[in-house]
């Protein structure tokens, strides 16, 4: 693939999100509509790169050797690129709520001034919202802690704002509580976000039952 030694070294050390061996079902989302690339499984000798879409090709130009895609999964999947030289993560088509909200950016987003020392600053993807690596994953963590990213199962995650738009109160059998409030309530009743008190298996079971009873269309999305 023509990647730099730094990229190869990084890929050898990353933890990867993958389904248990031999288990069927959906791939596991790391964020809403975001499937992280399992490079350990994607680097085998029989893998066709064009089939799995690993080598992101934006505006007909492949990303540089020092940049690697962290996501993989077709046109509906978010494109997240990591620049090993700049120590930055770029989220192409990042949701506007995250790119513009102070609680999401925490003042750590890379601004245009930083682009001056990067290669090919005119590439369109470099104009995407970007964070230093550590800040990027802290930002994602905050979305989960505050239940703005809501897991619907052990594999599927949705953005709270998207759920509000898709399922307005008048279209909900549960009444005025709404899908987002219902799910957030269930998680908090099971100890979230206190990792010492959170009862994961019980919570996911309760989430599944509530969705089947009140929001069967979301169950179709999950499974």
Nearest to 57 by CA among 133, 123, 5, 11: 123
Does residue 27 have a pLDDT over 60? yes
Which H helix or E strand runs over 134?
helix 133-145
Q: What is the pLDDT of residues 97-118, one digit of tens each?
A: 887 755 554 557 776 554 554 5
Other CB atoms within 10 Å distance of the CB of residue 151: 21
User: What does the alpha-carbon distance between residue 149 and residue 175 come to, in Å, rounded to a whole number?
Assistant: 22
Q: So what's the pLDDT on residue 106?
A: 52
Q: So what's the pLDDT on residue 5?
A: 93
What does the DSSP 8-state code read for residue 78?
A: P
Q: What is the pLDDT of residues 75-93, one digit of tens each?
A: 667 788 899 998 999 888 8
**SS3 of residue 165 by DSSP:** helix
Do 142 and 104 touch, CB atoms closer than 8 A?
A: yes
Would the pTM count as exceeding 0.85?
no
Residues 6+ apart with CB under 8 A from 71: 34, 35, 36, 37, 77, 78, 79, 80
Tokens 């987002």 correspond to 180
Q: So what's the pLDDT on residue 115?
A: 52
Binned at pLDDT 50, 70 and 90, residue 73 comes out as low
**So where are the chain's domains?**
5-143, 154-222
Interaxial angle between packed helices 178-189 and 200-214, expressed in degrees from 0 to 180 and rounded to the nearest 10: 160
Helices (H), 54-116: 96-100, 102-105
Strand duo 149-151 + 79-83: pairing: unpaired
Q: So what's the pLDDT on residue 196?
A: 95
Q: So what's the pLDDT on residue 52?
A: 40
From 10-14, 128-132, 168-172, the region with the lowest mean pLDDT: 168-172
**SS3 of residue 132 by DSSP:** strand
The mean per-residue pLDDT over the stretch 19-46 comes to 74
Q: So what's the pLDDT on residue 68?
A: 87
Binned at pLDDT 50, 70 and 90, residue 41 comes out as confident
What are the start-end ranges of the E strands in 135-221? 149-151, 157-159
């Amino acid at each position: 693939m023509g990647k730099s030694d730094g990229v190869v070294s990084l890929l050898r050390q990353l933890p990867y999100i993958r389904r248990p061996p031999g288990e069927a079902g959906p791939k596991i989302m790391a964020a809403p509509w975001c499937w992280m690339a399992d490079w350990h499984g994607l680097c085998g000798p029989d893998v066709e790169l064009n089939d799995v879409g690993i080598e992101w090709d934006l505006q007909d130009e492949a990303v540089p050797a020092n940049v690697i895609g962290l996501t993989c999964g077709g046109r509906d999947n978010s494109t997240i690129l990591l620049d090993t030289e700049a120590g930055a993560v770029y989220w192409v088509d990042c949701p506007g709520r995250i790119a513009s909200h102070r609680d999401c950016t925490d003042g750590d987003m890379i601004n245009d001034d930083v682009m001056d020392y990067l290669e090919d600053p005119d590439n369109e993807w470099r104009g995407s919202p970007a964070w230093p690596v550590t800040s990027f994953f802290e930002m994602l963590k905050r979305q989960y802690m505050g239940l703005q990213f809501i897991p619907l199962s052990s594999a599927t995650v949705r953005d709270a704002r998207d759920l509000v738009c898709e399922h307005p109160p008048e279209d909900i059998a549960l009444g005025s509580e709404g899908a987002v409030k219902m799910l957030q309530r269930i998680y908090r009743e099971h100890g979230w976000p206190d990792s010492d008190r959170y009862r994961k298996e019980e919570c996911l079971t309760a989430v599944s039952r509530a969705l089947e009873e009140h929001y069967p269309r979301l169950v179709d999305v999950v499974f």
